[in-house]
Every structure is written in structure tokens, then in C-alpha cells.
Structure 1
């Protein structure tokens, strides 16, 4: 993971990837995970997504990981929550009722640190990583969450037209990473992003349900 790249993006406020509203996909499809209230949802590379607010309002417990401290400071300001901040090994831990966000390197996160996870919401993690890192990401994610079921949002576009992130992760690559562990279900028709990605490339946004096979 290019730590300097992501920290620079946040410092310069070059965060076009941050949605200023709750992603309608989580509103429309989260119930496909069939989770009762209070279950623990892991949000990798979470940034300051407003989707966390939606999950909290729906009475889920959130565990997240983010590289950049500024993003998490902003997240808690947006949530109007004052967290308890503590240091654990190479991480800062921001905690409050039903939410615990770690600031640090995803690849150093352990299952002992995050505890039992009921489901994963990958809203922008897999697509944030270049191809040569995605295999390691998936392997580590499945290890620390014990292959918890997940909702996964992906993009599909011509990578020759635009460099990521977000990167194009089409269905055949999702199968490559996950088919051994999950049944993969398409939850929506491929939705065209009206203005394309960064107004450079036509792209489709898709949400998948990954449940243990």
C-alpha cells in the first residue's frame, strides 16, 4: 500500500472518491446479509464514509481500518461523536459506543485486534488497490475475518483509458479472488456512473453478495 500516496491525497483534499451522501447501494441491499441488530461489521479502508453513519443508525457495531488519521478525525466530527483515542502497537484506536476505528496499516491488522466479525462491507477497499496488491489484500482480509460474508462494491471500466484508483475489478477477477470461498451473487444490474469516473472513462458500478459456500 502506497502510504505516502494516500496521505498526500487526504492532505491536499484530493478525495473525489469520497461520496458526500450515503451510497444507495448499502440502503438497498444491506439486508441481503440477513444480519440481526448489534452484529459486528468490518469496513476496510473506510475513509470517512457516511455509510458508517447509516450502519450506526441501523444499530450495527462498526469496526474499521483506515490509513490516514485526518480522515478518521473528520469521520467522528461528521458523526458528532467524541471518541476515546488510544495507542495500541502501531495503531491509533478511536472508540465510542458501537464503533471502533483503527488508524494504521491494514496489512498489520490482526484478528485478535479486531475481534469476531459477522460481515464485511467492502465499499472502496479492493478497488483502491493496484492489481499486484489485491491478492494479498484478499488473503489478509479473509484471514482476519475468518471468511465472513460480505457486500462488495466494484467498478468495471477500460483501464487503458484511466489509471486508478479506483481500479477496475471486473467479475472474472472477483471470481479469481473469492469463488473458492463464497457463492457470488450479483445484487444489481451494472449501473452506469452518469459522468463516468473522474469524467474520463465510462464505468459501471456493481454490488455483489459474497456468502460462504
Structure 2
């Protein structure tokens, strides 16, 4: 899945993946990250997710990474957030009091480009990537965060042959295979959500589970 794909999706307004409500699993399980007010959460491939607003309302600081300027501009405009924009070699930094978004390719960012990260929240990043790119995503994420940072990962799990992604199906076995060498993977919950997802019903899915994982860096 190339960067151009997502740039074109945002430009065309093809953003059926965008949610207009906070993720219920995020609000339920955020305490598993073991962080407190003022701590910094990284949200990779953040789009214009409203989840970042909720995180700020809990007095966390948020840094997102998003390749599409359309998405980043929309996030700040739709939420009436005053911000400054600075240019760097990797792209643009949108800065506000509690939310910063790096408008850049996630794979071009270095840990030095980020503040100290205390935790990671991923609801729509991993499932946006096809199978061949996911190992690179995991490697890059591990490079960007310190050993102490925990990650809350939310995926969708369905019979992949029944629908072309994105979002792609990423089940428990996939997560353990991807993250198992560098992270301790704890499966928190798997919840059937098909009844609440008419757009996935329309695609003919027979099963759709939302899965939640806690990832803790495996320190040698």
C-alpha cells in the first residue's frame, strides 16, 4: 500500500474508515498504558481521528503522524484548534498546545524528530497496511519508542477472503507473529462488532471481531 494510495483517498474524500465517535475500547482500556496527566501518546497514521481529542481531554499530550495534509488540515479546522506550522526536512509540523501532528511519511521519521514518547495508541494504523508492509511498520515503531512505552493496539479480525482491505484483517496470530520478537503481546479482548457495522455487513462479511492488545517492549 503506497503513500500515493492514501494521499489520493484523502484528496477524493474516500474516508469511510474515519469514525465520528470515540473508540469504546480506547476509553475502556486506556489505563492499561500506565500513564498519567502530561504524559505523551504517539498516534501513528492518525488521519483526523477524534480519538486524539479524547486523549487530550484526559490531559495527555498527543503527537500524531499522518502523511496527508488534507487530513491534518481538516483535523485542526474541524476541531477549531489554533496551531502553528513549521517546516522540516521530513515534512510539516502542526503544533498546538496539546496536540502536534507531523505531516510526513511514518517511515521517514526518526526518534529524534519526536518528543519523549510514554505510550502508543494504534486503532487504524496496522490494519491500514497490507501484509507485506506490516513487518516494516513494527520495526519502525520499535525504533521510535523507548523501552518503557506501552502500546494499545486495536485491530479488526474477519475472513480476509470475504473482503479486500483496507482495513485488513489482523487476528491474534498475526499480531503475535508480527510483534512477538520485540514485544510481549497480551490479548485483552475480542468482541463481535458486525451487528454495529452496516458497511461491513453490506460487503458480505460473515464475522467481524474488534480485538484489543497490550504491547510491552521485550527488553533483553
Give the TM interval when normalised to the shorter protein: over 0.9
Which residue of structure 2 lines up, in the alignment, with residue 108 of structure 1?
A: 108
1:191 Cα deviation from its structure 2 partner: 2.5
Rounded Cα–Cα distance in structure 1 between residues aligned with 2:26 and 2:49: 12
List per-residue Cα deviations over 1:77-123 (Å, max 9, x = no partner): 23211110010003110001122100111100010001211100011
Q: For structure 1, which segment, 4-13 or 16-25, has the greater mean C-alpha deviation from structure 2 after superposition?
A: 4-13
RMSD after superposition: 1.4
| Corresponding residue pairs, total | 213
Rounded Cα–Cα distance in structure 1 between residues aligned with 2:99 and 2:62: 5
1:190 Cα deviation from its structure 2 partner: 2.6
Secondary structure of the equivalent of 1:190? strand
Asked whether the equivalents of residues 41 and 117 of structure 1 are also in contact (C-alpha less than 8 Å), the reply is: yes
List per-residue Cα deviations over 1:180-200 (Å, max 9, x = no partner): 233322222333222363621
Which residue of structure 2 lines up, in the alignment, with residue 182 of structure 1?
A: 183
1:6 Cα deviation from its structure 2 partner: 0.8
Which residue of structure 1 lines up, in the alignment, with residue 193 of structure 2?
A: 192
Which residue of structure 2 lines up, in the alignment, with residue 117 of structure 1?
A: 117
Which residue of structure 2 lines up, in the alignment, with residue 74 of structure 1?
A: 74
Rounded Cα–Cα distance in structure 2 between residues aligned with 1:209 and 1:33: 8
Rounded Cα–Cα distance in structure 2 between residues aligned with 1:129 and 1:198: 22
Rounded Cα–Cα distance in structure 2 between residues aligned with 1:127 and 1:96: 28
Ranges in structure 1 where 5+ consecutive residues have no aligned partner: none
Rounded Cα–Cα distance in structure 2 between residues aligned with 1:79 and 1:191: 31
Residue 210 (structure 2) pairs with residue 205 (structure 1)? yes
List per-residue Cα deviations over 1:29-58 (Å, max 9, x = no partner): 101112111111000000000000000111
Rounded Cα–Cα distance in structure 1 between residues aligned with 2:201 and 2:95: 34
Secondary structure of the equivalent of 1:26? helix
Rounded Cα–Cα distance in structure 2 between residues aligned with 1:90 and 1:33: 29
Secondary structure of the equivalent of 1:187? strand
Asked whether the equivalents of residues 38 and 61 of structure 1 are also in contact (C-alpha less than 8 Å), the reply is: yes
Rounded Cα–Cα distance in structure 2 between residues aligned with 1:98 and 1:192: 32
Secondary structure of the equivalent of 1:47? coil
Q: For structure 1, which segment, 187-196 or 7-16, has the greater mean C-alpha deviation from structure 2 after superposition?
A: 187-196
Which residue of structure 2 lines up, in the alignment, with residue 155 of structure 1?
A: 156
Ranges in structure 2 where 5+ consecutive residues have no aligned partner: none
Rounded Cα–Cα distance in structure 2 between residues aligned with 1:175 and 1:189: 15
Secondary structure of the equivalent of 1:211? strand
Which residue of structure 2 lines up, in the alignment, with residue 170 of structure 1?
A: 171
Asked whether the equivalents of residues 196 and 203 of structure 1 are also in contact (C-alpha less than 8 Å), the reply is: no
Rounded Cα–Cα distance in structure 1 between residues aligned with 2:134 and 2:154: 14
Which residue of structure 2 lines up, in the alignment, with residue 64 of structure 1?
A: 64
